[in-house]
Structure 1
Amino acid sequence: MYADDLALAHLLADTADSISMARFRALDLRVESKPDLTPVSDADTAVEQAIRATLARARPRDGVIGEEFGSSTAPAGTGNRHWVIDPIDGTKNFIRGVPIWATLIALVEGDRPVAGLVSAPALGRRWWGADGHGAFAGKHQRSATRISVSGVKDLSDASFCYSSLAGWEDADKLEPMLGIMRDTWRSRAFGDFYGYMLLAEGSVEIMVEPELSLWDVAALVPIVSEAGGKITDLTGQRAPGDGSTVGTNGHLHEEILERLGGGQNWSILAG
């Protein structure tokens, strides 16, 4: 059902990759601070502008929501499809020359992400998935391997991934986080998209973050879900929820929900 949309997402990613790689580690890279004091580079804006231009031609009846330029409304009566774009997820890595950053492209129907693609050109890898199509990874669409979450069922055997501890401390969730870290086999901080893609590939079992925007998470949902995962907020509701996210391989989902205090205003991506 979404094969054409995934093919378009790959074309959008091709354009994004060519722009972002040309600016990665460029000596004349321009970086500014947004009103929320987070950085934005000229690559962020150029990538989003290029994606929007292609979507305007290829999907003129779809809406677009992007991190840098907000929401564009599709013509009246066109349904509830919109594309959600994060031109560079991991901008802080990008501007420091760390290769863990990606363009995130999602198709959302209503409030449900139905197709997603993550392209990390500096790593030479992409991940994508759509409802009913499975989840895949590879350098490009013609060189793809189907991926799935791990079968680990015991927390003591699990690899725990997180972006940072500061946000969880601000939310008074540091002690539960440290408890999970003590009880898991291994813990490492792989931030942004990367922890979720490792989850979808079966390399880690849990990924948590205290705060995300729609463009940070929409593309991840179909990939993790189609890899065999479950993705919700902390109350057990479908993601994207209220902003915070956690991922597990499904077997550990309920335990992580309970340990992080399910029922409060926190989200979890459980895969």
Structure 2
Amino acid sequence: MDLAALLEPLGLACREAGEAIRAVRRRGFDVAHKGDLSPVTEADHAAEAIILAALARHAPGIPVVAEEEAAAGRIPDLADAFFLVDPLDGTREYVRGGDDYTVNIGLVVGGSPVLGLVLAPEQGRLWAGIVGGDAWVEEAGGTREPLRVRVPGERLTVVASKSHMNQATRDFLAAEVPEAELVSVGSSLKFCLLAESAADYYPRLSPTSEWDTAAGHAVLLAAGGRVDAPDGSPLGYGKPSFLNPGFAASSGWRGPLLAPYMPD
């Protein structure tokens, strides 16, 4: 599989999906709720349809696990390689009128992410990376800059979720990185901040779905970062129900283990 050849058409699909999401916002929309009570809108479904069509054209035969398809019970049999798609990560932020939501396409091979694209539609910025290859961010005007994580300074910049901050995360931050500067950001943008040297650490002690993380995880790895499970092992994919119990993403260094702080 020529991963580099996939980046251009999938990047265009992300941008098309982003425009569809913005169009729904301009004309207004209703909000429904799925079985887990998370919100879903017309924009989620419109963006997912665009991405699924693009993957069928440019990567035929590779299974795709997409958030809204999975919510409807339509999950394909997995192979060694499969895509994980979150067409609108940060729906809560989107519904509230916030700007930090994203479109995400990740490719997993052998349980590890190898390719990722993350689009921030409101900023027009597209982050992309191939693990072991290049990572870059493309601005709305088409200019690209390479991505590389930074070496942490004396004071860490830690990013955390806007919508999913919990007591376990507060306890961890207070005990392990008490002097850190804390920045709250929605969606997979947290991975992108690490990849572009704007932050150092992203601990997550509440559950996420694999389609929430695969794309950003791949971009961060391609930029020289890492993502560890609570026990310090690399975060893997293809788990039961596609759930991540927790993880720590960083700009290349291994932070303290999350395991002692994970909620029961």
Report the TM-score range of the alignment, normalised by the length of the smaller protein. Answer: 0.7 to 0.9
Residue number in structure 2 paired with 1:62: 62
Q: CA RMSD in A?
A: 2.4
Identity %: 27
CA shift at 1:183, angstroms? Answer: 2.2
Does the C-alpha gap of structure 1 residues 124 and 166 become closer, same or farther in structure 2, counting only changes over 3 Å?
Answer: closer
Where 1:182 maps in the other structure, the secondary structure is: coil
What's the counterpart of residue 49 of structure 1? Answer: 49
Matched, 1:73 2:76: yes
Runs (5+) with no aligned partner, structure 1: 267-271
Say whether 1:247 aligns with 2:237. no
CA distance in structure 2 between the partners assigned to 1:115 and 1:173 by the alignment:
28
Shift of 1:198: 0.7
1:24-39 alignment, distance < 5 Å = 24-27=25-28, 29-39=29-39
TM-score of the superposition, structure 2-length normalised? 0.86
Partner residue, 1:219: 215
Q: 1:222 to 1:165 in 2, by over 3 A?
A: closer
Question: What amino acid does structure 2 have at the position aligned with 1:222?
Answer: A
Correspondence for 1:187? 182
For 2:68, what is the secondary structure of its paired residue? coil
What TM-score, normalized by structure 1, do the two folds share?
0.84
Pick closer, same or farther for the CA change 1:225–1:119 going to 2, 3 Å: same
Deviations 1:20-55 (A, max 9, x none): 11112433x121011100100110011112211232
- Cα distance change on mapping 1:19 and 1:95 into 2, 3 Å: same
Is 1:5 matched up with 2:17?
no
Q: 3-state SS of the aligned residue for 2:198?
A: coil
Match of 1:36, SS state, is: coil
Between 6-15 and 34-43, the greater mean CA deviation after superposition: 6-15
Unpaired runs of 5+ residues, structure 2, are 238-243
Q: Secondary structure at the match of 1:69?
A: helix
Aligned match of 2:89: 89
Partner of 1:127: 127
